Amino acid sequence: MSHVKTFASIPGVRSYILGSCSGHLLLYTSGLYVVNPLTKRFRLLDHSGSMLLATIFNGPNNKANNTEDRAMCVGFALDQSRATTIKRFKIICILETHTTYAFEISDGNSWRFSETIITTTNSKSELTKRMKPVYFEGTLHWLRNDGSIIAFNIETEQARLIPSVFHPEPEMKLLFTLDDKINRLTLISGTKNTISVHTLMGDTSKWVLARQIENVLITDSELEYWNVVAYDGKHMVVRDKEKDSSTGVAHVYNMEDNRWGAWWPTACQAKYNLDVFRFTPFFSFFEHTELVEDSTNEHLARIMRLIDTTKRTNPVFRLMALGYDK
């Protein structure tokens, strides 16, 4: 059933999953890599030409907290226009300066700026920290604090502002995601009493309340944290951790049966921040990839082992969680 594969950093080596798309991961671990855990192949990328990535990982302020906060500026998407097994990808970095947004683009060979620049003088809001972009219908979407969205089409390389509005309450937990069942962008908002599901209506660009769920997980127990980590229209995953516990717990809500069901412990301990990525194994290749070997790259080999192709599973979610060692 549902499960989380947890990967914590090797001591002394910082690791960050930056994106997950069509069975591939974009990650940073002493270098920028695209990897496919199913085929056990990887490609090392030159990120020195990226202004954003150089600032995040090689700049004077590249502390762990800064990296985690700004990693959401990186988008990763597969080019679905090619019908062959060998695929191409694009990395899109969004650069935010006050009310102006610019975009860096890489196909794995070089970096360049998009001709598109967005200025939002009538909507002075910032990108939501630690909120990963959502890839939908060939477009990467970044959520802003006021509920509006910056959208970038990876094929046309054109960007636009979607003027949707949502004003979160203090202490409200948010998740920006995609509802695979109805094929709509979705915003989950959670309080200690209620978890609400909002869908973006394309004709009006408004967040519309679709349903509300009683949050029975928040009890009198003192929690160190809780948040909604995954949603696909059929199931929702909420993770929490009590203060006196060494590990967290993930709970699954069945949206069709309207009940809380499966739960499992998450192995990542309290000293880690945990970001969760939905992952679907996919058999495809990029050009110029290599086969990872334990003897040559221990860190990548550990990530590859998160996907065990010898076992048959039928998960509600296959999630990848990366622990950030503080």
Of the candidate ranges 82-86, 90-94, 250-254, the one whose mean pLDDT is the lowest: 82-86
Distance CA 42, CA 35 (A): 4
Which pLDDT does position 12 carry in this prediction?
Answer: 55
In sequence order, the 6+-apart residues with CB closer than 8 A to the CB of 48 are: 54
Residue 323 has pLDDT above 50, yes or no: no
Q: Which residues of 212-229 are buried (b: 16+ CB within 10 A; e: fewer)?
A: ebebebeeeeeeeebbbb
* Residue among 225, 235, 226 at smallest CA distance from 197: 235
Distance CA 144, CA 107 (A): 26
Residue 86 has pLDDT above 70, yes or no: no
| Maximum average pLDDT range among 75-89, 121-135, 197-211, 303-317 | 197-211
Which amino acid does the sequence have at 282?
Answer: F
Domain count, the chain: 1
Sheet holding 235-242: strands in order across? 223-231, 235-242, 247-254, 259-269
φ/ψ bin of 12: left (φ > 0), alpha (ψ from -120 to 50), beta (otherwise): left
Range of the domain at 223: 3-325
Residue 286 has pLDDT above 50, yes or no: yes
Tens of pLDDT, residue by residue over 134-146, are 999 999 999 999 9
Distance CA 17, CA 70 (A): 12
What are residue 238's DSSP bridge partners? 228, 251
SS3 226: strand
Contact criterion met (CB below 8 Å) for 58 and 49: no
Tens of pLDDT, residue by residue over 162-180, are 999 998 888 899 999 999 9
Answer yes or no: pTM beyond 0.75. Answer: yes
Q: What number is the average pLDDT over the span 108-117? A: 93
Of the candidate ranges 134-138, 152-156, 261-265, 315-319, the one whose mean pLDDT is the lowest: 315-319
Tokens of 65: 């907290």
Query: From the centroid of its chain, how far is CA 164?
Result: 21
CATH number at residue 67: 2.120.10
